[in-house]
Structure 1
Amino acid sequence: MSATCVFPSELNSSHAALQGWNRELDRVQDFDQVTEMVGRAFKPHAMQLRDPARTLETRLYSTRVGRLSMFFLEYGAEVKVEPDCFEGFVLVEIPLRGGGQYRCGGETLDGDTAHAAVMSPDKPVHLNLAPTLSQLIVRIDQGMIDRSCAAHLGYQPKEAVSFDLGLDLSGHAGRALTSTLRHVLDGGAGFSPLLDNPIYCAHIEQMLIDTLLYAHSHNLSHRFEISRTRPAVAPAYVRRAVEYLEAHAADAVTMDALAAAVGVSSRALFTAFRETYDQTPMGYLRELRLQRVGQALLSGDPASANLTQLALQWGFFHYGRFAQYYGERFGERPQETVRRARG
């Protein structure tokens, strides 16, 4: 595949696919206004015009696809942008025209219409963007990515997913990603109610996240390889242990009681869980309890608003530790889940 843009060459600010998007900035030249509005969309940042004699002519359009945010951005001038580290979200920046140099953590990418940048949180970001650059940007919540990763692996890894910076748009991940985004753009242009349909949007969210998890390199890619080679059928006593944990998730369960319930030694059960789920039985139980808490909070049931009582109900007797586990698992505090469910 040639190093040309994988999107139609006419995808620009006047393209029909972008007509229904929110026009945050439209040919704006004021430096402070541009810095403020782009900072609101992503993160407050420092910005510098590389050629002080040249003025900005910035376009920033935005739309939502479920819980994803999508942007069309062009500055109209060569700029240096330094947002430090992104917090809680991944940005996928796809040049439609022009290019730039992207640095994220210890990696550097010369981005162009054949190479996108995937920037994960908690890594310092530095951008040098060409005056001709137009880009399509997708913002994905890190918590959504981590939850999908756990669902695919069957357990919750201790570390968050962190992607490699460079994404070859002619490779497997690049073609799958851009194909999905073209589908969104074409659908939005031809039948805009699609973007208001929660089932459609949830499908798009999952397609984009799964594409990145399975086809683009990240720090847990090797776990996906392991999960493919791990035997699909767990030992019978492991399956019985999982059934026992699901039925007694709210009860006081000890390792010895669990082993006795399924008829093996604690050591044998511990080893089999490690080999099957890369997790201890008690770690599996904690993950199960967190899922039950999360489901209760998302249900909007008024009874779930008492967070301390809900944590106790599911076996978390130290609220501060529960809140820490919950934040690591879902990427937000329990109170934020309650507010989101009510909203």
Structure 2
Amino acid sequence: MQSLAFSTATPPDAVLAKFEVCHTQDLEEARRWGERIFCENRLRNQDRQASVDTRIYYRRLGGIGVGRMSYGSDITIDPGVLDTFALIQMPIRGEEVIEFGSRQVCSTPTQASVINAHLPCRIHHRKDTEKLIMRVDRSLLERICQQHLGRTLQKPVEFLPAMPLDTAEGQRWMRMVGWIYDNLSNDEGSLPPLLAAQFEQALVTALLTCQPSNYSAELCADEGQSIAPSFVKRVERYIEEYAHEPISIVEMAEHVGVSSRSLFAGFRRFRNTSPMLYLKEVRLRRVHEELQQSSAGSTTVTAVAFRWGFSHLGHFTTDYKRRFGESPSDTLAR
């Protein structure tokens, strides 16, 4: 059964036909390709009498990856936690059951599934199932969410795992998916950076607006009701400019001419955080950016952390990993 919501010039079962990366009857080879594209995983064939016939079509574009894949048998996929990306799965036919702890989502041609970047899962792929997939880097997702909100995020973006495709939002999402699949299926050359960035922005914006998440209320709020007072924005700019220096609440309040109490109240109401937590988030982001731009031989994690005011390395490492999905030493080694 084909999803009624998916409509493109390219038939769904011909999507990315020019970009086949794997066709194998070997389960271990299929696992290695899954690891190459996604992450470490374990595959188990639940029907030992049936042969595996894995096909993967995949194309990477900046912070997103699009694909079409099938296994040809009843397969259980155990990827653990997708630390660095979110995964949207849209069956063309058949179904998958995705376990999130004690919860389950049945992914079908009329209901896609969203696997968040920080929650453990297990996927039960049924025989004769074929699916379209969208891989979205966690860093891209959070960067665009931050752009729309006009502030840094205090928690990872977390979507509801079930995505009905027979709703207005679901159909809007699938029109966007169809547009992107059409373009990437038929254009074999490398895309200009500006066009690639447009695809990234459009896809992630559609995901953030079409699929409910822990930031939906704020993203969809009436702008007139959610505009923060000017002093909140001025303090944010102050923090961005002087994050490398010791900053106190008193200094922030004096800079904008309000009381410390008003400053706390403004951040709590309009940013759902405190000024000092905002400062900490900005400093974590600066550490991340500096580690990305440095080499392991030119500096150390300790030196960069101390430079941005993190004196307790244990707490810093925990906060960094929670925020970016990897340890600071992994970022530096990349």
Conserved? CA contact 2:296–2:332, under 8 Å: no
Counterpart Cα distance in 2 of 1:338 and 1:318: 19
> Residue 256 and residue 137 in structure 1: after superposition, are their counterparts in 2 closer, same or farther (change >3 A)?
same
Equivalent residue, structure 2, for 1:23: 21
Counterpart Cα distance in 2 of 1:259 and 1:131: 62
Counting only pairs closer than 5 Å after superposition, residues 155-234 of structure 1 correspond to structure 2 as 155-193=151-189, 195-225=190-220, 228=223, 230-232=225-227, 234=228
Counting only pairs closer than 5 Å after superposition, residues 235-254 of structure 1 correspond to structure 2 as 235-254=229-248
Conserved? CA contact 1:109–1:166, under 8 Å: yes
**3-state SS, counterpart of residue 61 of structure 1:** strand
Conserved? CA contact 1:115–1:168, under 8 Å: yes
**3-state SS, counterpart of residue 261 of structure 1:** helix
Conserved? CA contact 2:16–2:58, under 8 Å: no
Write out per-residue CA displacement over residues 277-326 of structure 1, whole angstroms, 9 at most, x where no aligned residue: 22211122222333333444445599974443333333333344334333
Give the structure-1-normalised TM-score. 0.81
Amino acid at match of 1:265: S
Equivalent residue, structure 2, for 1:330: 324
Amino acid at match of 2:232: V
Conserved? CA contact 1:6–1:114, under 8 Å: no
Conserved? CA contact 2:173–2:210, under 8 Å: no
> Residue 334 and residue 39 in structure 1: after superposition, are their counterparts in 2 closer, same or farther (change >3 A)?
closer
Amino acid at match of 1:17: L
Question: How many residues are treated as equivalent by the alignment?
Answer: 331
Equivalent residue, structure 2, for 1:277: 271
List runs of 5+ in structure 2 lacking aligned partners.
Answer: none
How much has 1:113 moved relative to structure 2?
A: 1.7
Equivalent residue, structure 1, for 2:45: 48
Conserved? CA contact 2:15–2:68, under 8 Å: no
Amino acid at match of 1:90: A
RMSD of Structure 2 on Structure 1 (CA): 3.2
Conserved? CA contact 1:48–1:81, under 8 Å: no
**3-state SS, counterpart of residue 159 of structure 1:** coil
> Residue 16 and residue 214 in structure 1: after superposition, are their counterparts in 2 closer, same or farther (change >3 A)?
closer
Counterpart Cα distance in 2 of 1:124 and 1:296: 29
> Residue 125 and residue 322 in structure 1: after superposition, are their counterparts in 2 closer, same or farther (change >3 A)?
closer
How much has 1:120 moved relative to structure 2?
A: 1.8
Give the structure-2-normalised TM-score. 0.83
User: Which deviates more, 116-125 or 208-217?
Assistant: 116-125
Aligned partner of 1:290 among 271, 284, 292: 284
> Residue 70 and residue 239 in structure 1: after superposition, are their counterparts in 2 closer, same or farther (change >3 A)?
closer
Write out per-residue CA displacement over residues 57-103 of structure 1, whole angstroms, 9 at most, x where no aligned residue: 22122221112222321122333444444433321111122323333
Amino acid at match of 1:4: L
Conserved? CA contact 1:85–1:123, under 8 Å: yes
Equivalent residue, structure 2, for 1:95: 91
Counterpart Cα distance in 2 of 1:280 and 1:110: 39
> Residue 272 and residue 323 in structure 1: after superposition, are their counterparts in 2 closer, same or farther (change >3 A)?
same
Write out per-residue CA displacement over residues 94-133 of structure 1, whole angstroms, 9 at most, x where no aligned residue: 1122323333334333322222111124544343333221
